[in-house]
Chains A and B, each alone.
Chain A
Amino acid sequence: MIAGIFSLLAQLLHAGLVLALAPVLIGFVRFIKARLMGRRGPPLLQPWRDILKLLRKRPVLAEGATAITQATPYIACAATFLAACLVPGFAQGMVLAPMADLLLLAGLLALARLALALAGMDAGTAFGGMGAAREMSLSTFAEPVLLLCILVLAMVAGTTNLDTMVATLRDGGVGLRVSLALAAVALLAVALVENARMPADNPATHLELTMVHEAMILEASGRHLALWEMQAALKLLVWMALLSAVFFPWGVAPAAAGPGAWALGLGLWSGKLFGLAFALAVFESAIAKLRIFRVPEFLGVALLLAALAVALLFVSTGLA
């Protein structure tokens, strides 16, 4: 009974934290990038201010835009938020834990991606369609890497349920493995591409011809734009939480252990998230954007790494 209440409370706290943290994380990345470039940088809460400002504005729809433009921001945001609720953060074993299947997570992100692409195509403008086509093409290369990484994790943990996986990885018996390290690198590459980050897309771009993500939301405005911004922030958080939960599972508290353990988990989790965000900012500042037709090579390397990880696991399970 108590355990049930705790797992529900942890889930609610997690959901609230995810919503509150996502834009802050974006703000943190922007702040660090600005600092690295020698600028003072916007305050951490600037993305939140932007979102709140946009929420107060009336959306302007393109002539001929259909209900797709009006419905997709809500659907995409809901799907990404649900995905964020499924990834263990400071605690595992929350109420939604039985639902936290990695394939479902991939499906929810695919739903959000498709909603975004549909919104991009709705007005029938050149850039929206171009962005949608590019987004779907890049996902074509990201998906095999993701599935192979899921295979690595499923082989190590024995299940595709993320929550059980995190518990297994945290409680040891797995140790440090070369395969996991290779899969981590591969999954990092996928995360960069899926979040439209630096080598694949420039999140700060204003040059239309190079855009992927921004091209699809060019026609969005008002609260729709706020939701799209929120969705992008949530997606970044989902990927960061996923990476930290799977590859740095230490300190994830069992939800039933109560608020004391949560506090410790919370500290570690935010440390991991902001550490990853810091690494992302440094990486983005140090690297140049790839041409769009070079991105498949980037993901091809990731695919090779993931396949190598799987092959190593095959060999090691065969010998064991």
Chain B
Amino acid sequence: MLTMLCLLLAGLAMLTLPALLGWVGVLRLGCVGAMAAMAALAVLALLWPVTEVLALPFGPPWAAALLALDPLSAWFLLLLGLAGCFASLLVGPAPRHELVAYPLFLLGMAVCITAADGFTLLLGFEAMSLASWAMLHERRAARLYLIFAVFGGACLMGALGLLSAGAGSLGFAALRAAPPEGALALAVLAMVLLGAGAKAGLAPLHLWLPLAHPAAPAHVSALMSAVMVKVALYVLLRLVFDLCGGAQPSWWGVPLLLAGAGSAMLGALRANLETDTKAILACSTIENVGLIAVGLGLALMFRGADMAVPAALAMSGALLHVMNHGLFKCLLFLGVGVVLEQAASRRVDGLGGLLGRMPVLGWAMLVGALSAAAIPPLSGFASEWLLLQALLGVWRTGDALFQFAALVALALVAMAVALGAAAMLRFWGLVFLGRPRSPRVAGATDVQGAGRPAVLLPAALCLLLGIFPGLALGLMQPVLAQWLGPAVPGPGGVFGLSAGDAGARYLVLPAALLLGLLALALWRAGMFSAGGSAARAPAWDCGYIAPPPHMPFGFPDTQPSGAGFAQPIARMLGAPLLAGTDVVTVPPPGSPVPARRRAGTTDPTWAALAALRQARHGLSGFLDRLRTLSIRHSLGLMFATLVLLLAVLAVLERP
């Protein structure tokens, strides 16, 4: 199986050749095939776990590069395979360097996920960052992205260096045998949280994400949001959950829990305020990464408290959400790409009324949006049910710190879930419902060709995993067994999910069936009621006069705009939390000019970044002054340094 994996990785590397030659068709076909094969391979590896490690005949000077496919890797590889397969369907003509970067991006993620030593892990991680950077279109976003990527990579390098200090080798088996202790372990935790958090977009290291993800072509955005941030979470899982060993204190989960809850809230709030469809989706990614981090934090807390069943609950919730978010976010980004192609706009204020023109895409994206909004019986609700059940069980640990952290996290997560639903409604409703906001939108046609399976397949998977979450949880069972031991029952079943204790169950299959039957029965009853079929008339709109004939889609200003729809939330939450501004200009009575509103928000973390910039300015000014010192001052400085070093030496050498 590992040989197959190697062949697939080599194949991905070879695909740079057709990319260099500009053969888009070959590239697309090759990527789709390789990714589908990778997904199949991952399923096989989950069904029949692979334990051996493959040493490649090349690597860094001191050792061979190692590859392995244990259940944890296989789970993330499955996500990469599925999302990569759907996204690759939409590979289109692009500048040469972007075409070459695309298979390298996929390769980097696959290598990072399947690496079995620190060097290969970092190699894949950096390849992923650099290749995706090469595909960004906006200069400012790309620079910010690169800064955060370099920062993240540097932190991870430090973490791996500290981890290997005790083991003397970078191989995972050796690292696992010598887990870090005391202050060293703390330093590893901090660096992994910073490094993986910066790449995953955990607050407060999320600033790059809403800028960078929208700046790429749709299929790359889809992969960045659906998979790349998950690869960062995989690195977090691998380093903290696996390589640091099981004996770490349970409070390790608390920073993860709180950062996750904060990210979820902040991301969901920002998703309600953005007016660019891709930025909305990128902010929703911050929210979902936060939710996954909450689950991971809870899993650590429960494991530290020796509560295996809730730990399995939290972990499976997090891992299931990894898959669910990957699928629906892939679907939504790809759909937005199709919309951009057809309707020439990414802004919600330039779209509208697309459901009538693009029914297939519209309904598929409704499934994705409802999944993202955590509406039963779709997939997002299943994983969020597990996460909420885990949060509701934290009080059983009996530790006051955990209980109050969970109380705060629960309130934040609940708000984030409701905000996420509002954001998805706003996104889908403004794009697909109402009237077209531009002539180009009115002429849009439905998704055709390769785009059709690219949106329909993930939508089908969202439905499938929503109604049968037990399928995914069954596949995931080896991951839980690997981490908690084989005896711990997972929360999945045929009819739905169970939270382990006292019969708290989410019986999704019967609920979905009843829901469908009831709706159908009501509909049939409605058909037989005397009214007859529906008639059409101009919208009543509280008596607003009908538009003149040269405005076939009505007055544009009588439809809610993106900023207008966001106004209540902007005023209630944006103003206090995001330093929101809101200026309304109302024309004098009798004037036909519509009222206008200008609103804006600033993410509070920009202030932190500005402070860093200020500090850098100060430092460079200071260094500049050092350079122009007189010879007297320079000599004095050297002498002072020498004395200082001698003093340090004297202190250190004291018996």
Query: CA–CA, A62 to B501, complex, Å?
Result: 50
Q: Is B653 an interface residue (CB 8 A)?
A: no
List B contacts of A147 (CB < 8 A): 388, 410-411, 413-414
| A13-63 residues at the B interface, CB under 8 angstroms | 55-63
| A42-91 residues at the B interface, CB under 8 angstroms | 55-68, 70, 74-75, 77-79, 81-82
B504 touches A140 (CB 8 A): no
Of all chain A residues, the one with the shortest Cβ separation from B555 is A126
Q: Is A290 an interface residue (CB 8 A)?
A: no
Query: A78-B515, A104-B376, A151-B392 known; A58 and B542 CB under 8 Å?
Result: no
Query: CA–CA, A126 to B543, complex, Å?
Result: 11
| A106-149 residues at the B interface, CB under 8 angstroms | 107-108, 110-111, 114, 117-118, 121-127, 129-130, 132-134, 136-137, 139-144, 146-148
Q: Is A208 an interface residue (CB 8 A)?
A: yes
Of all chain B residues, the one with the shortest Cβ separation from A104 is B506
Binds A, one of B12-20, B34-42, B55-63, B415-423: B415-423
Shortest CB–CB separation between residue B277 and chain A, in angstroms?
16
* Of A123, A140, A148, A314, the contact of B418 (CB 8 Å cutoff): A140
A140 touches B415 (CB 8 A): yes
B568 touches A59 (CB 8 A): no
List A contacts of B434 (CB < 8 A): 64, 121-124, 129
Q: Is A296 an interface residue (CB 8 A)?
A: yes
Of all chain A residues, the one with the shortest Cβ separation from B559 is A124
List A contacts of B558 (CB < 8 A): 125-126
A63 touches B537 (CB 8 A): yes
Query: CA–CA, A74 to B542, complex, Å?
Result: 24
Binds B, one of A197-205, A217-225, A260-268, A273-281: A217-225
List B contacts of A150 (CB < 8 A): 392
A124 touches B407 (CB 8 A): no
Q: Is B523 an interface residue (CB 8 A)?
A: yes
Q: Is A188 an interface residue (CB 8 A)?
A: no
Binds B, one of A2-10, A154-162, A237-245, A248-256: A154-162
B435 touches A64 (CB 8 A): yes
Binds A, one of B183-191, B335-343, B526-534, B642-650: B526-534
* Of B511, B531, B560, B567, the contact of A55 (CB 8 Å cutoff): B531
Q: Is B503 an interface residue (CB 8 A)?
A: yes
Shortest CB–CB separation between residue B492 and chain A, in angstroms?
16
Q: Is A259 an interface residue (CB 8 A)?
A: no
How many chain A residues touch B (CB < 8 A): the figure is: 84
Q: Is A99 an interface residue (CB 8 A)?
A: yes
Query: CA–CA, A142 to B567, complex, Å?
Result: 18
B518 touches A133 (CB 8 A): no
List B contacts of A58 (CB < 8 A): 531-535
A159 touches B504 (CB 8 A): yes
Q: Is B425 an interface residue (CB 8 A)?
A: yes
Q: Is A311 an interface residue (CB 8 A)?
A: yes
List A contacts of B568 (CB < 8 A): 133-134, 137, 292-293
A75 touches B411 (CB 8 A): no
Shortest CB–CB separation between residue B543 and chain A, in angstroms?
10
**What are the interface flags for B422-433 relative to A under an 8 Å C-beta threshold, 1 for contact and 0 otherwise?**
100110011001
Shortest CB–CB separation between residue A86 and chain B, in angstroms?
9
A124 touches B398 (CB 8 A): no
A56 touches B503 (CB 8 A): no
Q: Is B565 an interface residue (CB 8 A)?
A: yes
A98 touches B507 (CB 8 A): yes
List A contacts of B502 (CB < 8 A): 158-159, 161, 164
A155 touches B541 (CB 8 A): no
Query: CA–CA, A155 to B406, complex, Å?
Result: 13
Query: CA–CA, A60 to B410, complex, Å?
Result: 44
Query: CA–CA, A121 to B572, complex, Å?
Result: 21
Q: Is A318 an interface residue (CB 8 A)?
A: yes
Q: Is B197 an interface residue (CB 8 A)?
A: no
List B contacts of A108 (CB < 8 A): 376, 511, 515
Query: A108-B376, A123-B434 known; A218 and B540 CB under 8 Å?
Result: yes
Q: Is A310 an interface residue (CB 8 A)?
A: yes
Q: Is B452 an interface residue (CB 8 A)?
A: no
List B contacts of A67 (CB < 8 A): 355
B375 touches A107 (CB 8 A): yes
B541 touches A125 (CB 8 A): yes
B421 touches A136 (CB 8 A): yes
A143 touches B417 (CB 8 A): yes
Q: Is A101 an interface residue (CB 8 A)?
A: yes
List A contacts of B559 (CB < 8 A): 124-126, 129
Q: Is B554 an interface residue (CB 8 A)?
A: yes
A143 touches B418 (CB 8 A): yes
Shortest CB–CB separation between residue A81 and chain B, in angstroms?
6
Q: What are 5 contact pairs spanning A and B, CB under 8 A?
A: A98-B503, A125-B541, A141-B415, A293-B568, A313-B395
**Extra contacts besides A110-B421, A223-B529 (13): CB < 8 Å:** A75-B515, A75-B519, A78-B522, A107-B376, A123-B434, A125-B558, A127-B542, A129-B564, A136-B418, A146-B414, A160-B392, A307-B411, A318-B398
Residue ranges of B at the interface with A (Cβ–Cβ < 8 Å) = 352-353, 355-356, 370, 373-376, 381, 385, 388-389, 392, 395, 398, 400, 403-404, 407, 410-415, 417-419, 421-422, 425-426, 429-430, 433-435, 499, 501-507, 510-511, 514-515, 518-519, 522-523, 526, 529-542, 544, 553-554, 558-560, 564-569, 571-573
- State the 6 A-B residue pairs at the shortest beta-carbon distance, nearest first: A124-B434, A129-B560, A62-B539, A136-B422, A78-B518, A143-B418
